[in-house]
């Protein structure tokens, strides 16, 4: 069966949780492995506050972002950063913890004999997603040389086009996050 379009799963839903008095049953059986491989890339041994400049991607709406799109952002932006900037710290700040469920229905002729309709429609684990809320920072790029500012802006545009939802870019001096987020409308 073909993958469903992500617009079906884009809205934030209640987290897929399971509660049992026996701790061994508190896990979700069959949860898929997240596709996001790394979250911190570049010069990871240099702390964030020692970089002069930063570029952030800030969410303007509540949205769910798939692990596939986070991984595609990571690979594309990292390719550019390694070839051009060389000295950087690239952090993806959201991790796909949320398990997205799908109730698979069979469509077409003769499907009434196979499908049970909406009976027991809770759904099976389908993929993972990161739940992003208003004013959350999705990813950050830290760098030292001011001549890379235009390139970092381009990289954040590349990342923004691969993610569902709307985002605002911040590119400038490395300030505390509270100061940056207070300027977001």
Arithmetic mean of pLDDT, 120-126: 77
Q: What is the pLDDT of residue 9?
A: 81
Average pLDDT, the chain: 87
* Helix, strand or coil, per DSSP, at residue 42: strand
For position 104, what pLDDT does the model report? 76
pLDDT at 43 over 70: yes
Cα separations in angstroms, 89 against 15, 40, 143 = 31, 7, 7
Q: What angle do CA 52, 167, 50 make, to 5 degrees?
A: 15
Mean pLDDT of 77-92: 94
pLDDT value at residue 31: 84
Looking at residue 160, what is its pLDDT?
95
The CATH class, in words, for 39-98+128-182 is: alpha beta
Q: Is the pLDDT at 106 greater than 70, yes or no?
A: no
Q: Which pair of tokens denotes residue 98?
A: 């949320």
Average pLDDT over residues 62-91: 94
> What residues contact 156, with CB distance under 8 A and at least 6 apart?
55, 57, 141, 169, 171
Whether pTM > 0.95 for this model: the answer is no
For residue 81, the model assigns a pLDDT of 94
pLDDT on residue 7: 81
Give domain limits for the chain: 39-98+128-182
- The model's confidence at residue 184, banded by pLDDT at 50, 70 and 90, is confident
pLDDT in tens, 147-182: 999 999 999 999 999 999 999 999 999 998 888 888
Q: What are phi and psi of 123, to 5 degrees?
A: 95, 155
pLDDT band at 146 (very low <50, low <70, confident <90, very high): very high
pLDDT of residue 105: 73
Helices 67-80 and 149-162, axial angle in degrees (round to 10): 160
């Amino acid at each position: 069966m073909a993958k469903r379009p992500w617009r079906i799963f884009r809205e934030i839903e209640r987290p897929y949780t399971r509660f049992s008095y026996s701790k061994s049953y508190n896990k979700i059986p069959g949860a898929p492995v997240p596709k996001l491989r790394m979250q911190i890339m570049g010069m990871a041994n240099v702390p964030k506050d020692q970089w002069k400049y930063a570029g952030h991607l800030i969410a303007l709406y509540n949205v769910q972002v798939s692990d596939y799109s986070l991984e595609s952002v990571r690979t594309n932006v990292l390719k550019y950063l390694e070839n051009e900037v060389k000295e950087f710290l690239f952090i993806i700040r959201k991790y796909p913890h949320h398990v997205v469920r799908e109730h698979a229905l069979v469509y077409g002729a003769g499907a009434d004999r196979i499908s049970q309709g909406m009976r027991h429609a809770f759904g099976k684990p389908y993929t993972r997603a990161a739940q992003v809320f208003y004013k959350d920072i999705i990813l950050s790029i830290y760098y030292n040389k001011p001549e890379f500012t235009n390139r970092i802006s381009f990289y954040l545009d590349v990342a923004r086009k691969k993610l569902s939802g709307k985002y605002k870019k911040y590119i400038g001096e490395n300030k505390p996050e509270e100061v940056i987020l207070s300027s977001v409308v």
